[in-house]
């Protein structure tokens, strides 16, 4: 019993000294708790449906950030991973009766394989050439979808997929918990040595290579990891919709994920997640003004990008927190000295 109390007190001390000291961490905690307890207060089907798809697209946006935000490999065809996984999950579920808890991981590994197929020819490309090459892949796959309608369902797609759960509440919790777990894993990856190398490749790949690091291996790893997480999002989407169609490969979906990520703040993981949780519900609200919906949406995004070029969330974080020039640890903006090394923050 004494050991249990020791660990409880230790966890509480850690929680008080590491979470409650920074407004950004408190905001994340409030966000997570609010998502988990929301169904206790309202079970409105429309609201839950919006949040279900918001959670799925948050995984999708974070997976783009893992590749393009951290390594600088600008991917304009990220819908490819999403669509390949959605079609793989849908086809094996409908034709081979593979249950969803197996078809979604299989779809995710199809995303990994796709990451390898796309990553190898793109390794020597940079900038505009890389962006245009990645853009071509989902267009090519969409052509194949229409060429083999007996297998892919053509324009109608694949229908009759097994649902994640009979109850919308269960689907909500499945999508929200998946989002929280997967984005935490992605954040942990970017906070590891691998993430530091991803950063370094984006900043100066030549210098990293000169240091004896095999940048090709790490760029391929980024493509595969991104394909895996985007694939899980695609598989979840397919089983929530219970249908898979060419819309999962559309160019607009690839551009949408870029807008969400840049709006929230790239190279952070939490920025794209916040971008989706702001912009996707906002687009739903603006459906009440169909004539001005796209105009309002475009002006809002444009103003954000002009006045907050690093993205909305990093801009807010820099207003409420300061980074120590000595140890790089963040403290609340009202502090005059660093909470770790006591260096001056003015």
- Mapping DSSP onto H, E and C, the string for the chain reads CHHHHHHHHHHHHHHHHHCCCCHHHHHHHHHHHHHHHHHHHCCCHHHHHHHHHHHHHHHHHHHHHHHHHHHCCCCCCCHHHHHHHHHHHHHHHHHHCCCHHHHHHHHHHHHHHHHHHHHHHHCCCCHHHHHHHHHHHHHHHHHHHHHCHHHHCCCCCEECCCCCCCCHHHHHHHHHHHHHHHHHHHHHHHCCHHHHHHHHHHHHHHHHHHCCCCHHHHHHHHHHHHHHHHHHHHHHHHHHHCEECHHHHCHHHHHHHHHHHHHHCCCCCHHHHHHHHHHHHHHHHHHHCCCCHHHHHHHHHHHHHHHCCCCHHHHHHHHHEEECCCCCCEEECCCCECCCCCCECC
Output the furthest CA–CA distance in the chain (Å, rounded).
Answer: 68
> What secondary structure letter does DSSP report for 161?
P
d(CA 199, CA 211): 14
pLDDT one digit per residue (tens) for the chain, 346 residues: 778 888 888 888 878 877 888 888 999 999 999 999 999 999 999 999 999 999 999 999 999 999 889 888 888 888 999 999 999 999 999 999 999 999 999 999 999 999 888 888 777 777 778 888 888 888 888 889 898 888 888 888 888 898 888 889 999 999 999 999 999 999 999 989 999 999 898 888 888 888 888 888 898 999 999 999 999 999 999 999 999 989 898 888 998 999 999 999 988 899 999 999 999 999 888 888 888 878 887 888 888 888 888 899 999 998 888 888 888 888 888 888 888 888 887 7
pLDDT of residue 239: 94
What pLDDT sits at residue 55? Answer: 96
Residue 51's pLDDT is 96
Looking at residue 341, the DSSP 8-state letter turns out to be T
Give the per-residue pLDDT at 87: 94
Q: Return the closest-CA partner of residue 226 out of 115, 83, 133.
A: 115
Sign, CA dihedral 100-281-246-159, equals: positive
Cβ-in-10-Å burial (0-12, 13-18, 19+) of 192 comes to: exposed
pLDDT tens by residue, 150-202: 888 888 888 889 888 888 999 999 999 999 999 999 999 998 999 999 989 88
> What per-residue confidence (pLDDT) applies to 232?
96
Q: What is the pLDDT of residues 56-75, one digit of tens each?
A: 999 999 999 998 898 888 88
Name the phi and psi angles at 172, rounded to 5: -60, -50
| Token pair in block for residue 296 | 């309002």
* Ramachandran angles phi, psi of 242, nearest 5°: 65, 20
Contact yes or no for 174/51 (Cβ under 8 A): no
Task: Give the number of C-alpha atoms closer than 13 A to the C-alpha of residue 149, restricted to the C-beta side.
Answer: 4
Residue among 266, 295, 268, 297 nearest 280 (CA): 297
Give the CA radius of gyration of the chain.
21
Please tell me the predicted confidence (pLDDT) of residue 169: 94
As a whole number of Å, the end-to-end CA separation of the chain is 47
pLDDT of residue 297: 79
The encoded tokens of residue 332 equal 């609340």
243: left (phi over 0), alpha (psi -120 to 50) or beta: beta
Distance of CA 121 to the CA centre of its chain: 24
User: Which residues, 6 or more positions from 160, have their beta carbon under 8 angstroms from its beta carbon?
Assistant: 94, 242, 243
Classified as helix, coil or strand, 242 is coil
Query: Quick check: helix, strand or coil at residue 126?
Result: coil
């Amino acid at each position: 019993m004494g050991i249990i109390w020791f660990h409880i007190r230790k966890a509480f001390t850690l929680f008080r000294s590491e979470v409650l000291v920074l407004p950004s961490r408190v905001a994340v905690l409030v966000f997570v708790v609010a998502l988990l307890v929301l169904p206790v207060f309202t079970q409105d089907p429309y609201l839950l449906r919006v949040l279900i798809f918001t959670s799925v697209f948050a995984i999708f946006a974070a997976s783009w950030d893992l590749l393009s935000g951290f390594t600088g490999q600008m991917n304009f065809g990220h819908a490819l991973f999403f669509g390949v996984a959605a079609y793989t999950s849908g086809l094996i579920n409908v034709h081979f009766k593979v249950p969803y808890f197996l078809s979604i991981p299989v779809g995710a590994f199809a995303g990994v394989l796709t990451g390898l197929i796309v990553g190898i020819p793109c390794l020597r490309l940079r900038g505009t050439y890389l962006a245009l090459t990645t853009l071509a892949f989902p267009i090519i796959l969409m052509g194949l979808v229409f060429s083999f309608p007996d297998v892919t369902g053509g324009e109608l797609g694949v229908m009759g997929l097994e649902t994640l759960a009979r109850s919308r509440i269960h689907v909500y919790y499945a999508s929200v918990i998946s989002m929280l777990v997967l984005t935490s894993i992605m954040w942990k990856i970017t906070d590891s040595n691998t993430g530091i190398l991803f950063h370094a490749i984006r900043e100066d790949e030549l210098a990293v290579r000169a240091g004896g690091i095999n940048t090709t291996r790490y760029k391929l790893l980024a493509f595969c990891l991104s394909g895996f997480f985007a694939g899980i999002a695609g598989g979840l989407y397919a089983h929530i919709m219970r249908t898979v169609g060419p819309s999962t490969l559309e160019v607009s979906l690839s551009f949408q994920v870029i807008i969400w990520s840049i709006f929230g703040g790239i190279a952070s993981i939490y920025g794209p997640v916040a971008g989706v949780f702001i912009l996707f519900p906002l687009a739903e609200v603006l459906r009440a003004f169909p004539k001005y919906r796209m105009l309002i949406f475009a002006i809002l995004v444009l103003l954000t990008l002009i006045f907050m070029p690093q993205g909305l969330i990093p801009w807010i974080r820099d207003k409420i927190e300061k980074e120590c020039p000595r140890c790089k640890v963040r403290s609340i903006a009202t502090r005059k000295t660093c909470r770790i090394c006591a260096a001056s923050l003015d």
